[in-house]
Amino acid sequence: MSVEVQLEKESYSTRELMFLLHLSYSAIHKLVKTGRLHPIKIGNKHVFLKEDIERYIREEQEKRNKRITNSSIIN
């Protein structure tokens, strides 16, 4: 099962990313601290690049698909 997300912009603020991924600020912060998302600083703001967001979404979908496949093998 794959969910297609169309990212129209090249970069997103933390607030926009929270809305896009349905995550809290602290969840986004944790993803940054653990190296799963990589913001860049432009001026005095941190933004997330489209490519990095797409990579994160793809990795999450792959993990979810793997869990679903493994659970269906067990059952």
Where are the chain's structural domains?
A: 11-74
Q: Summarize pLDDT for 25-55 with one digit per residue, the tens.
A: 999 999 999 999 999 999 999 999 999 999 9
pLDDT at residue 1 is higher than 50? no
From CA 56, how far away is CA 40, in angstroms rounded? 15
On whether the CB atoms of residues 46 and 12 are closer than 8 A, the answer is no
Q: Cα torsion for 65, 60, 15, 52, to the nearest 10°?
A: -130
Mean pLDDT of all residues in 49-73: 87
> What pLDDT does residue 52 have?
97
- The CATH number of the structural domain formed by 11-74 is 1.10.10
